[in-house]
Structure 1
Amino acid sequence: METKTALSQLSALAQENRLALFRLLVRAGPDGMAAGDIAADLSVPPNTLSAQLNILSAAGLIEGTRQGRSIIYSASYDMISQLIVFLIEDCCQGRDEVCMPVLEAAQSRCC
């Protein structure tokens, strides 16, 4: 991942409502959620939600897929993985004890 891409993604997440939206979509799983359901869950007006979705989409962190009259948004797990790897890829420097707690915590909360 290029530094410019990582900065774009981190910038997109650096706002309370967008971070809440992103985390909601991560929890929703690969099936995602319709925009109306997202707005209801987060109590966000449609125009505000639209702007937040656009920022996260432009950063590549979420994807929207049209299904009939709805757009279903889901987290882009591949991009999330790339960002996480980018953030920690140099942390170990040959010392497993540095990154092992992070990896163990991720495994215990994931899959």
Structure 2
Amino acid sequence: MSIPPTTSPENRRRAPRTPVRDTLFVQAIDSAQITAIGADLKTGNTVNASAYGIQVELDFEVLVDSDIMLWVKMGDHATRLMINGTVRWTSRQLGSENFLVGIELSEESAPEMQRWLHDQQILSP
């Protein structure tokens, strides 16, 4: 984990997180060690999100400090929103092959993320 023990993720957040479960699609991962995905599209699940960050569950490992590009579908399923950011931490889930991944989103992704979060809140029962 890349977060020092004295700094919890909650203390670094700029906006409150909203629990949201939805499928997301990993478009690309780029780091000094690996560039992956391409035509081999991977999916994951969102756990929670804010305008500036997202926690996702993936069935593959990603490297801390990797740049990652994701897309999510709006409620109409016709509109895709591209978001990108940097992997800040990863943690293998106990008793599972899956990983929780914390992603700090880029500033330019914030408006799209807010739009998606608003859409998710409208669709929630």
Does the pair score TM above 0.5?
A: no
Higher relative strand content: 2
Using structure 1 for the length normalisation, give the TM-score: 0.33
Using structure 2 for the length normalisation, give the TM-score: 0.31
Higher relative helix content: 1
